[in-house]
Amino acid sequence: MSVKPKAQTRPTLGSLRRSRTADVKGQVFFGLLLIAVALAVAMVLAVLFSVIADGAEILGSRLWSFLTNPSSSDATKAGVAQGIRGSLLIAGIVALVAFPVGIGAAIYLEEYADGGIVTRTIEVAVRNLAGVPSIVYGLLGLAVFVQQLRGITGGSSVISGGLTLSLLVLPIVIITASEAIRAVPSSLSDGAYGLGATQWEVIRTLVLPSALPGILTGSVLSIARALGEAAPLLVVGAAAFYTTGFQGALEQMQGAFTALPMNVANFAKLPADQWAGHAAAASVVILVVVFLINLFAIIARARITKKLGR
């Protein structure tokens, strides 16, 4: 007499709810995550409201002149036009230097490296470099770009500042690009190899387009960090007031420079009775610039994702 196997019953919605309710540890962990996120958002909003409130008088009474006027010893005329210009030039140098080098290094580590001890050593070094204080990169930039390469960079110039910040954000670009490439399903590459595609064709037509949204996110984060750094720029010789002139492209890149973080630092140490709100208003300008860069990245990522059919 054969024994009929017991029929397997599919889990019902009620049983799933009961099992989920019984997961007390998971619920506690989820609650702690919500609390952590709420605290982070609350601190960000507190800082945002504080700088907006402190700089409201300047932003409300002379916003346009504050954005277009150069630095001045007169509190009623001082602006951040030079700082905006210097920050945009530095961001351009970071994009031209750090992004190709960082993405190329990530492609090598994920697609070409053999995973041996040398590769693992490089990966550990990159992750450790991401946590090095920014002032250390400033000292490196002072020794290499300002002193050793003075004939090329012009010494304390926007080129030196941009190259120094490129080194600062390079580990972030490598790490985020590596994670994005690693997240691409291996089935895509396997199918392409099965059809006879070469390794470079697979990377160029499948891996990079699929990883592009993640790479773009990491690149924007690195730009945002570069725009907010003041210590490395101070070490390489960024000026408090004076920036590059308007004579020509070479003179502008190799001349004295400043940036928005330097404007904030300089305004903050001036007498509060005359310069009240200038540092906060300049901080709001930095936040707006970073927000616009992030908005551009979000739009670009959405279009890329839509194009990929995700």
CATH of the domain at 255: 1.10.3720.10
Nearest to 236 by CA among 145, 131, 134: 145
Does a structural domain hold residue 104? yes
- Please check the confidence at residue 123 and state whether its pLDDT lies above 80: yes
Residues 277, 69, 160, 98: is their CA dihedral positive or negative?
positive
Does a structural domain hold residue 298? yes
CB crowding 249-282: b at 16 or more within 10 Å, else e:
eeebbbbbbbbbbbbbbbbeebeeeebbbbbbbb
Does a structural domain hold residue 11? no
Q: Structural domain tally of the chain? A: 1
- Both tokens of residue 178? 């590596």
Mean pLDDT of 256-280: 85
Residue 250, pLDDT score: 58
Does a structural domain hold residue 31? no
Does a structural domain hold residue 142? yes
265: containing domain: 67-308
Instruction: Band the pLDDT of 63: cuts 50, 70, 90.
Output: confident
Instruction: Band the pLDDT of 104: cuts 50, 70, 90.
Output: very high
- Please check the confidence at residue 6 and state whether its pLDDT lies above 70: no
Cα angle 158, 164, 167; round to 5: 140
Residue 243, pLDDT score: 45
- Please check the confidence at residue 137 and state whether its pLDDT lies above 90: yes
Does a structural domain hold residue 59? no
Does a structural domain hold residue 269? yes
More confident of the two residues 12 and 107: 107
Residue 267, pLDDT score: 87
Residue 169, pLDDT score: 94
Residue 20, pLDDT score: 55
